[in-house]
Amino acid sequence: AQKVTQAQTEISVVEKEDVTLDCVYETRDTTYYLFWYKQPPSGELVFLIRRNSFDEQNEISGRYSWNFQKSTSSFNFTITASQVVDSAVYFCALSELDSNYQLIWGAGTKLIIKP
Amino acid sequence: SAVISQKPSRDICQRGTSLTIQCQVDSQVTMMFWYRQQPGQSLTLIATANQGSEATYESGFVIDKFPISRPNLTFSTLTVSNMSPEDSSIYLCSGYQGADGTDTQYFGPGTRLTVL
């Protein structure tokens, strides 16, 4: 059965530290998409990245980077030199090819960046 | 990417009343979805809003409680009927864009509902 696990409920770091948010997924499909979304305290969900199952290249966008490893079914998210504005809940999600575009959500990781 | 707006952004309602939430997308999207997010929780899919036909509800959600309309490809409404304090949540709509290759759900800002 499909599932997304974000084992870290809450992470607290001091500003400028690097932090990695873990995401482990389960699926029987060979074609699927993985996503990360950010939900700041204001509540809106902000799309960060989509990765398809055939593209294992790591991605870097500014201070954000993503490590996709099919061998371990993981799609981890690293923030380098964290800032207070990075404080939010981060969700990892999975979409399978035949799922009518529905997303399977992880429980979310609350990230607190202390000044 | 699609830009999605929701109205109202928040509301405080009395038990037993109903509230209709509107969701407007700035471009045509293939699918629209409605979610509920209870405090401190992840997102739970309520239903898929189908254009011109009845919505497809997930287990645990029924049309009488959460009637949904989608009269065209850019607009949908969700009504929370006969509300109780347990309905206090954030309600989010999303639009899925696939035709442009993004294959991504974009979300509205959410509606924070408090039921007294």
Q: Going residue by residue through chain A, which has 115 residues, state the pLDDT in tens, using 9 for 90 and above.
A: 789 999 999 999 999 999 999 999 999 999 999 999 999 998 899 999 999 898 888 888 999 999 999 999 999 999 999 999 999 999 999 998 877 788 999 999 999 999 9
pLDDT at B99: 60
Check A102 against B106: CB less than 8 A apart.
Answer: no
Query: Among all residues of chain A, which has the CA nearest to that of B2?
Result: A47
Largest CA distance in chain A: 44
Closest CA to B29 of B67, B75, B66, B71: B75
Enumerate the residues of chain A whose CB falls inside 8 A of the CB of residue B102: 50
Query: Is B42 in contact with A108 (Cβ distance < 8 A)?
Result: yes
Of A43, A91, A103, the CB nearest to B90: A43
- Half-sphere exposure of residue A115: CA atoms within 13 angstroms, side-chain side: 1
- Strand, helix or coil at B86? helix
Whether residue A101 and residue B112 make contact (CB cut-off 8 A), yes or no, is no
Burial of residue B55, with CB atoms counted within 10 A of its CB: 0-12 exposed, 13-18 middle, 19 or more buried = buried
